[in-house]
Amino acid sequence: MTKVKSTLLLLVVSLGAIAQVPVSWKVSVSVAPEMRQSFLKGGRLLLHVTKQNEREPRNRSEITIGITPHRWDASSPFVIETKDKNVLSIGLDKLPKNASDKYYFQVVYKQNPDDGQENVPGNLYSTIDSVQFSTNINLSLTLKTLIPSATIIQHKFVKTVEIKSPILSAFSGKPRYLKAAVLLPSGYFDNPDKTYPICYRAAGLNGRYTAINGLINNKEFSDWWFSKIAPQVIYVFLDSQGPYGDTYQVDSENNGPCGKALTEELIPEIEQQVRYSPNAKMRFLTGNSTGGWVSLGLQIFYPDFFDGTWSYSPDPVDFEHYGLINIYEDESIFYNRYGYLQPGRRTIYGEPTFSMKDWIAGENVNSRTNNYLISGGQFGAYNAVFGPKGKEGLPSLMFDPFTGKIDHSIAKQWEKYDLKKVLEKNWVTLGPKLQGKIWVWMGDMDGLYSNVATRFLQKFLDKTENPKSDAKISFTAMAGHGQEWSDKAVLTLIAEKVSKMEGSKLTK
């Protein structure tokens, strides 16, 4: 792309970012007296608007409006005005000119300093109000509900582990905690002297250890898990909570030494409580999507600590193919080298459904900094995990939030998390340690285009020597993101590997 074209594209994007909104809405937000003790200054107000009445707007909305109300102390209402220059929004520009529908309004106050997400414990939200569409709306909403702490199901075969992390607490200068939920195999209590294989399940983006609740409440899975044919594996649900969103369970300048804390604090505590012996060499990993990247990344970064990984639809493992973007060479993540909008998502038939520009606009709205920096979303997390610290102790920005222009000096610093580059640079030492330990599945029509990066990882591994990699990477034609992921499937694969390992020991 020529410099002239690039400049014009960035100018167009900048103008679009400050386009005039088509409505003048004023929403007065109050904090209920009983909630004022729970109120924290400096949070983000998010107004959600939808035409759908079968769900709460905060769970999914066509329109989101965001503003950080500085110096608001909750003693008086704060008014969100769509015409305010400090307000960011998505969806307002798509309102029909002659709309006559009823719209449902709800506001969330995102204030939890330890969790970058919105609908998480510690944040406040209002009841729902509905009004007939108008270009001039005046509405009052009251923050009446505090989202409670998450709980884990009470069950004989479910164990919760939570510890204060000295490593992360020292990094942050305040207490930080690590937690996990453990699903024990059906034979666990009948064999008190047995060491069982153990598998650590990394969650999808911003996933929580509460995922165990849904699995144990799933009758089909539960019936299978407690049957005689089920794998005898200890299954551990990790939690990815972090101040900027998902921590990816690895050491980073912004989240702190999360990988060190995981491997030196949380995992030893879990394994002591469930009587796993590290000498068994049956400590495995699995995960889907972000969890796919985490499970593969942890195996690569800690090749002696973990004994095998099953990674499904991992996030980009090669940053030269970060979706369809080359972060080291491309000028912008919003437009490709041909001047077209860069897609961020697609259907399995190849139809783009969401542009990178729209994706980042949504994260900008969700962040109290008015950019994706601490949105708690995908790119807010990426910057915190992969990038260096920036101004005021916050993560750096790898690209401009309104033009998409890439800062290559920061992109270069992401290299240490580029899994393909890590393997390329360290194959002599890593290769022998990873033999028999890598299994990856990917749909060839991945909805986030992550299959492209996985293809290039496979190309590298196919060319390796001394040793020749035995990593198993498989692709399914016309399959989408995470299409073949299931806990049952991966646990069965782990059981098969364990059976082969045990059979091998008997023949020696």
Asked if 46 contacts 65 with a C-beta cutoff of 8 angstroms, the reply is yes
10-53: pLDDT as tens digits: 444 443 444 455 789 999 999 999 999 999 999 999 999 999 88
For the CA atoms of the chain, what is the radius of gyration?
Answer: 24
Q: How many Å apart are CA 84 and CA 82, to the nearest integer?
A: 5
Ranges assigned E (strand) in 407-494: 438-443, 472-476
Is the pLDDT at 507 greater than 90, yes or no?
A: no
Sequence-distant (6+) residues with CB within 8 A of 73 are: 39, 41
* Residue 326 in tokens: 């080359």
Domains of the chain: 18-146 (2.60.40), 158-318+418-501 (3.40.50.1820), 320-416 (no CATH)
221-242: pLDDT as tens digits: 999 999 999 999 999 999 999 9
Asked if 77 contacts 87 with a C-beta cutoff of 8 angstroms, the reply is no
**Among 345, 232, 338, residue whose Cα is nearest residue 280:** 232
Residue with tokens 């033009």: 403
103-119: pLDDT as tens digits: 999 999 999 999 989 99
pLDDT band at 503 (very low <50, low <70, confident <90, very high): confident
Alpha helices in 52-195 (DSSP H): 166-172
pLDDT of amino acid 328: 98
* Residue 77 in tokens: 């209402």
Is the pLDDT at 505 greater than 70, yes or no?
A: no
- Average pLDDT of the residues in 93-108: 84
Sequence-distant (6+) residues with CB within 8 A of 56 are: 106, 128
pLDDT of amino acid 508: 55
Q: What is the pTM of this model?
A: 0.93
Is the pLDDT at 153 greater than 60, yes or no?
A: yes
Amino acid at 249: Q
- Average pLDDT of the residues in 453-466: 98
**Among 179, 188, 142, residue whose Cα is nearest residue 161:** 179
Asked if 125 contacts 74 with a C-beta cutoff of 8 angstroms, the reply is no
- Residue 291 has phi, psi (to 5 degrees) of -65, -30
Residue with tokens 């998390």: 417
416-430: pLDDT as tens digits: 999 999 999 999 999
- Average pLDDT of the residues in 465-473: 98
Count of residues making up the chain: 508
**What is the rounded (10 degree) CA torsion for 356, 362, 368, 374?**
-40
Q: How many Å apart are CA 224 and CA 479, to the nearest integer?
A: 26
Q: How many Å apart are CA 508 and CA 498, to the nearest integer?
A: 16
Three-class DSSP labels, 443-454 = ECCCCCCHHHHH
Whether cis (ω within 30° of 0) applies to the bond prior to 467 is: yes
Q: How many Å apart are CA 452 and CA 475, to the nearest integer?
A: 11
Opening angle at CA 175, ends 169 and 176, nearest 5: 70
Q: Is 421 helix (H, G, I), strand (E, B) or coil?
A: helix
Is the pLDDT at 5 greater than 90, yes or no?
A: no
Asked if 304 contacts 298 with a C-beta cutoff of 8 angstroms, the reply is no
Q: Is 124 helix (H, G, I), strand (E, B) or coil?
A: strand
pLDDT of amino acid 21: 58
Q: How many Å apart are CA 407 and CA 457, to the nearest integer?
A: 25
pLDDT of amino acid 8: 40
pLDDT of amino acid 107: 98
pLDDT of amino acid 125: 98
**For residue 164, with 0-12 CB atoms within 10 Å meaning exposed, 13-18 middle and 19 or more buried, which class applies?**
exposed
318-338: pLDDT as tens digits: 999 999 999 999 999 999 999
When the pLDDT of each residue in the chain is averaged and rounded to a whole number, the result is 93
